[in-house]
Amino acid sequence: MNFINKLRVTKPLVTIIGLISIAFLSVIFQGCEKSEFEDDMNYKLEIPDQYNAVGKMHNQGLNYVFNAIKEAHMENMKNSDPNMKSAQILDYKTIVTDATLQFCKETKSLKEKFNVCQAVVVKSHLNLKSKKIGKNDLDGMNSIQKELLNEIFYAMKVKYSKVSLAKIKKDLDKINIKALNQLSEIEAAPIYCATSTAFATYQYWHRNYKKWYFAIHYPEILKEYNDAQLNNLSLKNGELSLKSAPAWYDDIFDTVEGWWNDGSDAVGDWWDENGDDILTADCQGAAAGVIYAIDSGIGEVSLVFGPEGWVLTVVGGGVAGAVYGSALGAAWSF
């Protein structure tokens, strides 16, 4: 069958006009955030639509886990010393595990295969013996599958831009064609889920790594900024600035407390150091999730598309594995 058809704000200095401006810009940024995440990402590769859904659900799942981490920090900070650098070190592994499972339970197409998602997350949880996603998770793959997965990793090692996004799509579609021609449909499923995740996660992380950085490293400011503002913040020489706002907008922000001493571009440095590992963990988690779903014996290992068929089983495993690996890769990168 041919599938390739398819604010902190300075208290005495801010005037009423400044406050109105902040509120106005906040509304704008909130609108931009919704549009950027929901409407402005391309999820379409030359694979069956059921597999294309893996990447989109992966991105939705990451936002779900991020909100769970954010809520946990906010709860911890209620009775904490405001002068502390970090309110409390969270048990990220438990938070990510619980949030991933809850996301699967609340997402209609994943809920139908929740037992598969649960089995995948539990096995992924048990296999993590350190703060790195282990490559031994892919021992069940044959040599062609491993080769194609390495090609996926390589395809994402380019600087983010619209031009590079088009190139990545082209490269991933070539990998999918190889999977179609060289592998059985069952063997190709981990590759389809991994390419779908790769295309989606490349777009997601390059737009959202800043909010994850601040949530993990400096949760204290989560009370002051929404997600869109966090993604537009820069941190240089101990000062915050909102890069996309008018120049005068920077003047309303205080210099950050003394515990913030990172100089240079701390956020960009963090992504440069950890970005490749996080993107790799996403794709690796998707492929491993499919293998776990198959090995678990849960669900129907058949090639019948439908509510109880093969695709929903492997998609459930792929999404659960991708979200879990991706979120832990980020949370454990500090």
pLDDT, tens digit (0-9, with 9 covering 90-100), for 286-296: 999 998 887 76
In whole angstroms, give the CA distance from residue 41 to residue 156.
16
Is residue 65 within 8 A of residue 206, CB to CB? The reply is no
Q: What does the block give as tokens for 105?
A: 């339970």
Where residue 329 falls among pLDDT bands split at 50, 70, 90? Answer: confident
Inform me whether the pLDDT recorded for 70 exceeds 70.
yes
Question: What's the confidence (pLDDT) of residue 124?
Answer: 82
Q: Report residue 76: phi and psi, to 5°.
A: -65, -30
Distance spanning both ends of the chain, measured CA to CA: 45
Question: What's the confidence (pLDDT) of residue 186?
Answer: 87
Q: Which long-range contacts (CB under 8 A, 24 or more apart) does 6-11 make?
A: 6/46, 6/47, 6/48, 6/49, 7/224, 7/225, 7/229, 7/252, 7/253, 8/221, 8/224, 8/253, 8/254, 9/252, 9/253, 9/254, 10/252, 10/253, 10/254
Q: Report, as an integer, the average pLDDT of 147-159.
A: 93
Per residue in 10-58, pLDDT (tens digit) is 333 333 333 333 333 344 334 444 434 454 789 999 998 889 999 999 9
Hey, which residues does 253 pair with through a beta bridge? Answer: 9
In whole angstroms, give the CA distance from residue 113 to residue 69.
25
Is residue 233 within 8 A of residue 3, CB to CB? The reply is no
Inform me whether the pLDDT recorded for 167 exceeds 90.
yes
Residue 206 has a CB neighbour count (10 Å cut-off) of 16
Residue 298 has a CB neighbour count (10 Å cut-off) of 19
Is residue 219 within 8 A of residue 77, CB to CB? The reply is yes
Where residue 221 falls among pLDDT bands split at 50, 70, 90? Answer: confident
Question: What's the confidence (pLDDT) of residue 257?
Answer: 35
In whole angstroms, give the CA distance from residue 125 to residue 114.
16
Q: Report residue 332: phi and psi, to 5°.
A: -95, 10
Question: What's the confidence (pLDDT) of residue 296?
Answer: 67
Is residue 112 within 8 A of residue 291, CB to CB? The reply is no
Determine what percent of the chain is predicted with pLDDT higher than 90: 37
Q: Which long-range contacts (CB under 8 A, 24 or more apart) does 296-303 make?
A: 296/116, 296/119, 296/120, 296/123, 298/115, 298/116, 298/119, 299/113, 299/115, 299/116, 301/186, 303/185, 303/186
- Is this model's pTM higher than 0.85 or not? no
